Amino acid sequence: MEKKNLKIELCGERLDNPVIGASGVFGYGGEYADFYDINMLGTFSMKGTTLKPRYGNAMPRIAECKAGLINSVGLENPGIDKVIEECLPNMKKDFQKKVIANISGFSEEEYPEIASKFNDIPEVGWLELNVSCPNVNHGGMALGTDEDTVSRITYSVKEVSPKPVIVKLTPNVTDITRLALACERAGADALALVNTFMAMRIDLKSRRPVLANGAGGYSGPGIFPMALRMVYQTYEKAGIPIIGIGGITSAGDVIEMMMAGAAAVEVGAANMVDPYACKKIIEELPSVMEEYGIDDINEIVGGAHNG
């Protein structure tokens, strides 16, 4: 089989392939480094970072579904200072590439404050603004459903940080393209979509919601067609790169998402089912490209829009 080109560029940085471990699932890489060399990834997005430490929501905070899972973890993390002082130095033992720092605020002002703390951290190549987490009462999705708010947050981070800014959008809106365009006008370098869909389960015996928080974010293969549609629609209108997220479990899914318009993809819930998920997808990509006559992965981005 002829050698295939998997290398891509994301906001000026070269990646060996378009497969990125998703925030919230990939932690700081250490758990997966016990299974395989995670340097084979394009990169990964670190666990969401907030200004202060967070212990997350009450248990239980995971509910299984037929085609995925619902989580209500609630941005559990040690806070920005400990991330910089301890987590990033430890991460370098397992991962020698630049990572994406996923940041979350509980007010508009917290985003630039957190972002500026990463300015002098060479291990961080990109900032991913999480304005879409459904599992917190303030911040996250509460900020990410309003065009003016996401615009102000994006602009404020661009004002203080030289690093490329990726805005991660919620699908829990009427028209995601309006949010995407607001971010683009404010200077976003790329978009990540989608985050999880609001969902819940009820325990038949207790007659109560399974999750202590009531509802949470639904992820997994069940959301793939909906995420694909939103990437497709956003590509039609936005002029900046898109990272496609939502239910990706195979190399074929990666190709499909990129044909819809994604320049790269993030793989999340699949890693919780199989810790080798990203490794298998990367290894399978060349043969799937061969099957569909693709020599360069970049040539298919947005291909579904051209017939």
Beta strands per DSSP E along 171-215: 190-193, 197-199, 202-203, 208-209
| CB contact set of 138 (below 8 Å; sequence gap of 6+) | 106, 107
Domain count, the chain: 1
Q: What is the pLDDT of residue 135?
A: 43
200 in any annotated domain: no
Q: What is the pLDDT of residue 307?
A: 64
Exposure string of 261-299, with b = 16+ CB inside 10 Å and e = fewer, is bbbbbbbbbbbeeeeebbbebbeebbebbeeeebeebee
120 in any annotated domain: yes
210 in any annotated domain: no
Helix, strand, or coil here: 168? strand
Distance CA(250)–CA(255), nearest Å, equals 9
Domain that holds residue 169: 8-56+74-195+219-305
Q: What is the pLDDT of residue 133?
A: 59
Q: Which residues are catalytic?
A: 133
64 in any annotated domain: no
Q: Walk along the chain (307 residues) and give the pLDDT tens digit of each residue.
A: 789 999 999 999 999 999 999 998 999 999 999 999 999 999 999 999 999 999 889 999 999 999 999 999 988 999 999 999 999 999 999 999 999 999 999 889 999 999 999 999 999 999 999 997 554 444 455 678 899 999 999 999 999 999 999 999 999 999 999 999 999 999 999 999 999 999 999 999 999 999 999 999 999 999 999 999 999 999 999 999 999 999 999 999 999 999 999 999 999 999 999 999 999 999 999 999 999 999 999 999 999 998 6
For residue 130, the domain's CATH number is 3.20.20.70
Q: What are the backbone dihedrals phi and psi of residue 91, each rounded to the nearest 5 degrees, phi first? A: -60, -35
203 in any annotated domain: no
User: CA–CA distance from 203 to each of 60, 89, 134, 211 (Å)?
Assistant: 12, 42, 21, 9
